[in-house]
Chains A and B, each alone.
Chain A
């Protein structure tokens, strides 16, 4: 069953008196459990497409259905509810809240879901254990390395066990070793929890792990291939 379906999506931005077309004619179907990447050079429209799928933006034309909801007709409140309950986000720059501890950063999505304290603690500890950073539970982001911060960011996206995780250039700020560690961990979470991962990236390292690679060029899908992932083991790293 497709959890993401886009039909004829276009996105235009005003640019002076003219309009800049960031996306055009995007027809796409993504099934549950996929580990898919939207790849392409900078300015090809990857992030714009990810924003529309993440209900952070509306398409100018066409329709995007995400987890059964039509993004273009969602109100701000409904879009927030969809993101809160069923989507997880991983950012290039981690975007952890610096004044909060690791525990509190990961706890934030659960607070919005109004879960009780015991349940929150259980889920946060499980998520941190999965990403291998439980020992840093009381640390502040400033006390962590880049790789550790991205692990916390992954834990925050995964803690509520969402149906879909959207990751925008998740390894762009990481060194090679940390990049492979994070990607291996995501792949494992994908297998274990059947969470669908959708990346926007132009990083070759990420591409090695993808099972499906959709190439965007100048806002159009120019290639959509399925392939075997080629993860790099920790020993190789």
Chain B
């Protein structure tokens, strides 16, 4: 009998192919949406961590209060020694000193007169002694023209900024900014290469400078505005909190605004709130999606059941018991649900994998964005992504068949029998 019912199921496209396609579509979309939201959150963390916040960040307490103003006069003193201590104390982490600045970038002509000029945001970090920051910023891939700096006095400039200033690798650029001691800093660099991050906010007007050059330019010898710490893999909130508490207990002194303080990624840029919001939104969006899909799939189950009044009437008339008919409807729902969910999961995961590995470039839509967000839409496949589709896929079809089945089976047999004649 099972073989007989399976045969019918396979041959009747209204009962098998169409519900499977609907379920697969719904499940695929649920999985893709889930992975996209995960990818969005994870991309937000990754982008912020690389360019701005690290997984943890150390600043002076005073710097932390007005960090948005890039107050290099409040930078960490003796930062080289502090990094050495950090490497000994927390060997599992990588530490990177940074100096951030704002100012003007002036492009002189042959006579040394200003040819072009524009506001600039600069990031100073170690570019010459190790490849860590080069790899972290993925600079080999980001380089679109010229070379990475290989000696002091060379900088990288973003493509959009270079186009606006009409400069090429080999040209000279003069940085005009505030030094840490309050004086005016003017420093000449040579542009070694042009880069593109794929992050709209950074691509506008950024230069990357080796930290030793910036220390010279801004009179910040053996100091850094920030020290960023990175875990070898992804951000680990629990570990970050533990290290932060440990560090602050040892180094941070209340009342001494020049003592260092460590904060985690989530404590910066409103990321904690944003990540909580993403989490909540992802649950709400997925919840709504699953609810809607469940209604659609339930309806499919009902429609499929109603279409089969005739068949069920004949089966009851021929002598199949109501219980057996009902159980067979449940099995059918389960089989269709499993098949649709598997197909949907494969489709959803395949699209998610594409988004994870390749992504979709939306830089054209984010030209005016000042958010530190990637301009490539990405998804992230996490373990729950393999299972989340089963909620709408299985539950909805099973419930749909169960409820429609009750309606059919509880109908008076004679009534069902009468409906056969219509």
Closest Cβ neighbor of A11 among chain B residues: B414
Using a CB–CB distance below 8 Å, which chain B residues touch chain A? 1, 4, 7-8, 11-12, 310-311, 313-323, 412-414, 417-418, 420-421
A37 at the interface (CB under 8 A from B): no
Which B residues are CB-close (under 8 A) to A83?
316-319
User: Is there contact, CB below 8 Å, between B413 and A100?
Assistant: no
- B2 CB to closest chain A CB (Å) equals 10
Known: A77-B323, A108-B318, A111-B1. A95 touches B313 (CB 8 A): yes
- A156 CB to closest chain B CB (Å) equals 8
A residues 124-163 in Cβ contact with B at 8 Å: 156
Known: A56-B417, A95-B310, A168-B421. A100 touches B7 (CB 8 A): yes
Bound-complex Cα distance A92 to B314 (A): 12
Q: List 22 A-B contacts (CB under 8 A).
A: A51-B417, A54-B317, A56-B417, A76-B321, A77-B323, A80-B320, A80-B322, A81-B319, A83-B318, A84-B319, A91-B317, A91-B420, A91-B421, A93-B421, A95-B310, A95-B313, A97-B311, A99-B11, A104-B7, A108-B314, A111-B1, A112-B318
What does DSSP make chain A's interface, helix, strand, loop or mixed? Answer: helix
Closest Cβ neighbor of A92 among chain B residues: B421
A85 at the interface (CB under 8 A from B): yes
A residues 30-80 in Cβ contact with B at 8 Å: 47-48, 51, 54, 56-57, 76-77, 79-80
A199 at the interface (CB under 8 A from B): no
Bound-complex Cα distance A207 to B313 (A): 27
Closest Cβ neighbor of A166 among chain B residues: B317
Q: Give 18 new A-B contacts, CB below 8 A, not counting A56-B316, A95-B314.
A: A47-B418, A54-B317, A57-B413, A77-B323, A80-B321, A83-B317, A83-B318, A84-B320, A85-B319, A91-B317, A91-B420, A95-B310, A95-B420, A99-B7, A100-B11, A104-B4, A111-B4, A112-B1
User: Is there contact, CB below 8 Å, between B7 and A112?
Assistant: no
A residues 85-103 in Cβ contact with B at 8 Å: 85, 87, 89, 91-93, 95, 97, 99-100
Those 8 A-B pairs whose CB atoms lie nearest each other, nearest first: A84-B319, A57-B414, A83-B319, A80-B321, A99-B11, A51-B414, A56-B414, A99-B12
A residues 155-208 in Cβ contact with B at 8 Å: 156, 168
B314: contacting residue among A48, A80, A97, CB under 8 A = A97
Bound-complex Cα distance A26 to B311 (A): 31
How many residues on A have C-beta within 8 angstroms of the other chain's C-beta atoms? 32
Known: A93-B420, A93-B421, A100-B8. A112 touches B413 (CB 8 A): no
Which B residues are CB-close (under 8 A) to A54?
317
User: Is there contact, CB below 8 Å, between B8 and A99?
Assistant: yes
What does DSSP make chain B's interface, helix, strand, loop or mixed? Answer: helix
Binary B-proximity of A108-130 (CB < 8 A = 1, otherwise 0): 11011000000000000000000
Which B residues are CB-close (under 8 A) to A57?
412-414
Which A residues are CB-close (under 8 A) to B12?
99
Bound-complex Cα distance A80 to B314 (A): 12
User: Is there contact, CB below 8 Å, between A108 and B321?
Assistant: no
A84: contacting residue among B318, B413, B417, CB under 8 A = B318
Which B residues are CB-close (under 8 A) to A100?
4, 7-8, 11
Which A residues are CB-close (under 8 A) to B315?
108
Known: A77-B323, A97-B8, A99-B12. A109 touches B318 (CB 8 A): yes
Bound-complex Cα distance A51 to B417 (A): 9
Bound-complex Cα distance A99 to B317 (A): 18
Q: Which of B310, B318, B320, B323 has the most CB of A within 10 A?
A: B318
Q: Which of A54, A79, A99 has the most CB of B within 10 A?
A: A99
Which B residues are CB-close (under 8 A) to A99?
7-8, 11-12
- B65 CB to closest chain A CB (Å) equals 75
Which A residues are CB-close (under 8 A) to B313?
95
Bound-complex Cα distance A83 to B414 (A): 13
Q: Which of A48, A57, A92 has the most CB of B within 10 A?
A: A57
- A113 CB to closest chain B CB (Å) equals 8
User: Is there contact, CB below 8 Å, between A76 and B318?
Assistant: no
Which A residues are CB-close (under 8 A) to B314?
91, 95, 97, 108
Bound-complex Cα distance A81 to B311 (A): 18
Bound-complex Cα distance A168 to B316 (A): 16
